Each structure stands twice: as C-alpha cells, then as structure tokens.
Amino acid sequence: MVVIKNKQVLLSHGNVEGRSIALDIIEYALVAVDAYELVRRTVFVEGQTLNVGHLKYDLSRVRNIYVVGAGKGSVRIAEALEDILGSRISAGMMIEKRGQGRKLKTVKVAEGSHPIPDEAGLEAAKEVVEIAKGAQDGDLVFVGVTGGCSALMPLPADGISLDDKKRVTDLLLKCGATIDEINAVRNHISAIKGGRLAIYAHPAEVINLILVDEVAGLPWGPTVPDPTTFPDSIRILKKYGLWEKVPDSVRRHLEMGLNTQNMETPKPKDFERLKVHDVVLASIETACEAAKRRAEELGLNSIILSTVMEGESREAGIVLASIAKEVEKKHRPIKPPCVLIAGGETTVTVTSQSGEGGPSQELALSFSLKIHNNKKIVLASMDTDGTDGPTDVAGGIVDGYTLDRAEEKGIDVYENLMKHSSSYVLKELGDVIITGPTGTNVADLNVIVVDGL
C-alpha cells in the first residue's frame, strides 16, 4: 500500500479529524491506480494463452516479446510484465524519472530528467527506437505509457537539437499552456512522438498499456495516432506569444511541415495498416471513483465535482474553496459531513522569477486564503505520481487554521503565492504531502472534507 510518509506530522495540528479522513481517502485512491496491480489484473497467462484484456495470443506462435516505454510509474508496468511473462521477454527499455533507483531482470531501466528532458533520456529513447525497429512480424511489443513519457523519451526531429527542445519545453511549461497544447507542439518537433514509434515497430503487433494523465481521458503516447497538426502547433505557440521566442530551428521545422505531407504525425487512417491495440489501465476518473467509494465506506456523503478540471491552479483553488464554503454554510450541492472530490490537470503561469512549487501546492495555498476561519474545511491536493511540478513532494494539505499558523510564523501567504513559492510556505507549516514515487500517474487529485462538526 502507498504510504504518506509524513502522516504523523500532517496530523499534528489543525483540523486533525478532517485531515485524517482526507489522507485516508487519498491513500485508498492511489492504491486503486497502482500500475503494477492494474497490469496484473489485465495481463495473465493460462497455459499457452496470453490474455491482455479481451485480446488472446497463442504463446507458441509468438516469436519475441519486447517491453518499452516511459513515464513516471512506467517501471511498475514493466515489473508486472516481467513477473507475468518471465523469460519470454526478449529485451526491453523503460525510461523513468531520475531518482527512482529501480532495476529489473530483463528490461533495462534508464533514468532521465523531468519535466525538462536531458541527454540520458535522449540516449535511452534511441535504444527504444532500435528495439522497435528490430521487432518483426510475429513479435509482440508492449509499450508502457504513463505521465511524463514525453519529457523522458526525447528524440528531436532532424535539425533540432536537444537544447532547442529543452528551450521549447521550458517556455511551454511556464506560459500556462494545457498539457494537450504542450504535447501538440512536442509531437511535431519529435522523431518518436505522435504515433511515430508505432511506425518503427511495424510489422510487429503493438500493445499499449496506458495510464491516462490527461483530462481528455483518451489513449495517448508515442504509439497512438495524433489528432493535432503542424498548423495547430504554430497556432499554440503564437497564442502564448512564444513563436518569436522558440529557436530558429523549431520555427523552420514547423513551417516546413506546413507544406510537406510526409512530415505530419500519423493519423488514424495511417494506423489502419498497423496492428496496434490500446489498453487503458486507469485514469483520473478511476482515482476519483475510488476516492468516492472510500468516503462512502467511512460513512460520509460524497460527490465528484469534476474529473476534467483545468485552468490556473490559483484560480482553481478559489473556485473549490467557494464550493466548500457553500457546502458548509448552505448544505448544497451536498450535505455535510461530506467529501468533495475533483481531479484534473491545472497549470501555473510563471511570468517572472519564481520560487519553488507546483500546481497542487499552489492550488492548496490559494484555497487556504479563502477558507480562513472556516474550521470545518480541509483540502488535500496532490499529483498522483508523488512529485508535484519540479519538486520532490506530492502536494499539500490545508485547513481553516492554515492562515493563522502562517501569520504566527511571520509568513505572508499571499506574497509567497504571487511568487509561486508554495513549497516554502507548506514546508514551513509542516503541510507538504510526501509519498515518494507512487507507482502511478493519473493527473492531480483533490479531496475536500467538510466535517460538519
């Protein structure tokens, strides 16, 4: 079971009962979306038959099995496949976020940088391509995809350097673009993303095992057709005022793609000749439904407000706080004691030099400003992979006592929120949630407890 490592500290102050409920629900939800367990329930062998969801394969007819992929939590997918298939796996490569320190028996594990790609990720991505190119008719290629895959598997298109790609990624992350918009651009400056890896693996059969971390809830990754286009990528860069800021090589490549049909990412019609199957293991909806189930087991009313929450983290915190206060005071849209659940992928727009933080921590800090003295309300907000933004913490927990405690320590919450220094405040208050790697990644989860005492 996933354990919140600093639970004792988190329960040493504030609305202890509400905090205990929120953390219990979060742990339950994380277990429900653990990649290893999800794969073990989806993939199994009976005699000589390999079952993958509704798919069935006669192992006596399968030549080689390869396992590749990337993302935070992706190694848990490979670990499960090794336990299921053992020596039947011929080779593999998984790219995980640096610091995980995991090793497998047959599948190699490389560690790269996230969210800004690095040379280690680039070299591992090249190896993934070589494995895919070596697959033949009669082979199976399992592709594990979790959030972080795009940054951890960088392979820039010809003429674009890794430094150029890093520059574009940094600009996109700071401008407030949605993850769908960021991926649209990254797909069109890559030699591997947007479905291209599936082309390399042809004529082998590809089975995608996917943890969805995007609000659209649809299959995604380097072996899934890309609905976006070169014009979309240019429009997105211009929308956020980045067109003149990206490297010249990127502008040249995108402009060339406007008039060169074979440069476009593969579309659904291109996949008609390929043997590619998408198996979605879980999404933020899975986590939200598990959180609701746990709340009801605890005897609390519960409601899922949204599984597609987007926008500025600071503004999302204000909205969620407004709903929580409506529940506390007016008992609508649900009567306390209750739990409100929201999932999605909010963003932080950085316009100047900033401190340390992440979307979930910033949302929590914004929420705390609006529930000052509302002692019955608690919010726990976290990134389900265990690392919120570029930090080493999962998120934060706040309640109606948070602002008073900050003032006692001489901390200006509003000033730090404006500087995007949410980690500093929450760490000083003992309110960062620390899990370490969770073995999953299905976007961000927010659990609000209104205890009605």
CATH number of the domain residue 348 falls in: 3.40.1480.10
Query: Region 393-412: what's the mean pLDDT?
Result: 97
Residue 138 sits in the same domain as residue 198: yes
Clarify whether residues 347 and 435 are in a common domain. Answer: yes
Same domain flag for 323 and 335: yes
Give the mean pLDDT of 51-58.
Answer: 96
Residue 260 lies in a domain: no
Half-sphere exposure of 413 (CA within 13 A, CB side): 26
Whether the pLDDT of residue 215 is over 90: the answer is no
CB count within 10 Å of CB 159 equals: 12
Q: Tell whether the model's pLDDT for residue 452 goes beyond 70.
A: no
397-432 in b/e burial notation, b at 16+ Cβ within 10 A? bbbbbbbebbeeeebebeebbebbbbbbbbbebebb
117 domain-assigned: yes
Question: Rounded mean pLDDT of 216-236?
Answer: 94
- Give the chain's mean pLDDT: 95
In a domain, 147, yes or no: yes
CA dist 177 to 163, 214, 218, 354, Å?
A: 20, 13, 19, 17
Is there a contact between 300 and 339 (Cβ–Cβ < 8 Å)?
A: yes
Of residues 83 and 389, more confidence is placed in: 83
Co-location of 341 and 310 in the same domain: yes
Based on the fold, state whether residues 383 and 433 are members of the same structural domain. Answer: yes
List the structure tokens of 394: 């999962």
What are the angstrom distances between the C-alpha of 248 and each of 117, 173, 260, 359? 19, 19, 18, 30
Same domain membership, residue 77 and residue 51:
yes
Q: What are phi and psi of 83, to 5 degrees?
A: -65, -30
**431 and 314 housed in the same domain:** yes
Amino acid at 434: I
Q: What does the H/E/C string look like for the chain?
A: CCCCCCHHHHCCCCCHHHHHHHHHHHHHHHHHCCHHHHHHHHEEEECCEEEECCEEEEHHHCCCEEEEEECCCHHHHHHHHHHHHHHHEEEEEEEEECCCCCCCCCCEEEEECCCCCCHHHHHHHHHHHHHHHHCCCCCEEEEEECCCHHHHCCCECCCCCHHHHHHHHHHHHHHCCCHHHHHHHHHCCECCCCCHHHHHHCCCEEEEEEECCCCCCCCCCCCCCCCCCHHHHHHHHHHCCCCCCCCHHHHHHHHHHHCCHHHCCCCHHHHHHCCEEEEEEECHHHHHHHHHHHHHHCCCEEEEEEEEECCEHHHHHHHHHHHHHHHHHHCCCCCCCEEEEEEECCECCCCCCCCCCCHHHHHHHHHHHHCCCCCCEEEEEEECCCCCCCCCCCEEEEECCHHHHHHHCCCCHHHHHHCCCHHHHHHHCCCEECCCCCCCCCCEEEEEEECCC
Last residue of a domain, one of 254, 282, 310: 282
CA-atom Rg of the chain in angstroms: 22
- pLDDT at residue 269 greater than cutoff 70: yes
In a domain, 181, yes or no: no
**pLDDT of 453:** 52
Q: Tell me: do 93 and 18 sit in the same domain.
A: no
Q: pLDDT per residue over 24-45, tens digit each?
A: 999 999 999 999 999 999 999 9
Query: Could you list the residue range(s) of the whole structural domain that residue 195 is in?
Result: 35-155+190-228+265-282
Residue 227 has pLDDT above 90, yes or no: yes
Residue 208 has pLDDT above 90, yes or no: yes
| Domain contains 233 | no
Q: Are residues 12 and 41 in the same domain?
A: no
Is the same domain home to 200 and 312?
A: no
pLDDT tier, 156 (very low <50, low <70, confident <90, very high otherwise): very high
**Residue 178 domain-assigned (yes or no):** no
What's the pLDDT at 1? 55
Domain assignment present for 427: yes
- Are 53 and 15 contained in the same domain? no
Structural domain count, the chain = 2
Chain segment 165-185, per-residue pLDDT in tens: 999 999 999 998 988 999 999
| CATH number of the domain that residue 128 is part of | 3.40.50.10180
Specify the pLDDT at position 352. 73
Residues 120-147 have a mean pLDDT of 97
C-alpha dihedral sign at 265, 269, 274, 278: positive
Same domain, 214 and 66: yes
Domain membership of residue 163 (yes or no) is no
For residue 266, the cross-strand partners are none
State which amino acid sits at residue 191.
A
pLDDT classification of 101: cutoffs 50, 70, 90: confident
